[in-house]
Amino acid sequence: MSNRYAIRNGAVVKTRDANVIGKALEEIRDRNGSLIPRRVWEESADPDAPLHPEFEWDDTEAAEQYRDTQARSLIRAVRVVNDAGRSTPAYLHVKVESTSCYQPTGMVLNDPDMRSQAMAEAKRYLSAARNRLEDIEGVLDVLKPVDAAIDVLDRKIKRKSPRKK
């Protein structure tokens, strides 16, 4: 019996048919015993491969996109350590005038709009982690505190959201 597939909410894919993607990944896994990212894109290099449209094949563009990913990772890795030895992220991700960027954590926390954005992003990460936990048998008991934390973030976001003019 064949699996039916869906695309995770918020995922960016070019092939809108989840079953095409799922079946192609299943076939690659069956041939190789597991899914390894490099193997997936190598087997998708043929323009007729079902997953070919999912990848950037212009090496110059792909290199720039990868460097963007490296830079994001580098920015997120840096933390500020206070005198007590507690560390916090040096920068948080926000949008300023519709441009996605990173700003110093102190600046973000002192600006109501940026703070609300940072809390909304934290909620998205926590919700994604919660969804992964839900898929793992035997961890359902930890979902209640996670759900409570998501609810708290939700209330804070709604309370702190800037008023529309």
pLDDT digits (tens, 9 = 90+) for 12-41: 899 889 999 999 999 999 999 999 999 999
On average, the pLDDT of the chain sits at 89
* Whether residue 102 is found in the same domain as residue 155: yes
Q: What is the mean pLDDT of residues 79-94?
A: 93
Global pTM reads 0.71
Task: Please give the residue range of the domain that contains residue 66.
Answer: 60-89
Q: What distance in Å separates the CA atoms of residue 140 and residue 133, rounded to the nearest whole number?
A: 7
* Whether residue 108 is found in the same domain as residue 133: yes
* Whether residue 37 is found in the same domain as residue 69: no
* Whether residue 83 is found in the same domain as residue 101: no
- Those residues whose C-beta lies under 8 Å from the C-beta of residue 90, and which sit 6 or more positions away, are 75, 78, 79, 80, 104, 105
Measuring CA to CA, which residue among 29, 26, 5, 25 is closest to residue 17?
Answer: 5
* Whether residue 81 is found in the same domain as residue 51: no
pLDDT at position 165 over 50:
no
* Whether residue 82 is found in the same domain as residue 147: no
Amino acid at 27: E
- Domains in the chain, number: 3
* Whether residue 118 is found in the same domain as residue 68: no
pLDDT at position 85: 92
Q: What distance in Å separates the CA atoms of residue 14 and residue 134, rounded to the nearest whole number?
A: 27
8 Å CB contact between 127 and 117: no
Confidence class for position 160, pLDDT limits 50, 70, 90 = low
* Whether residue 23 is found in the same domain as residue 76: no
* Whether residue 164 is found in the same domain as residue 98: yes
* Whether residue 96 is found in the same domain as residue 163: yes
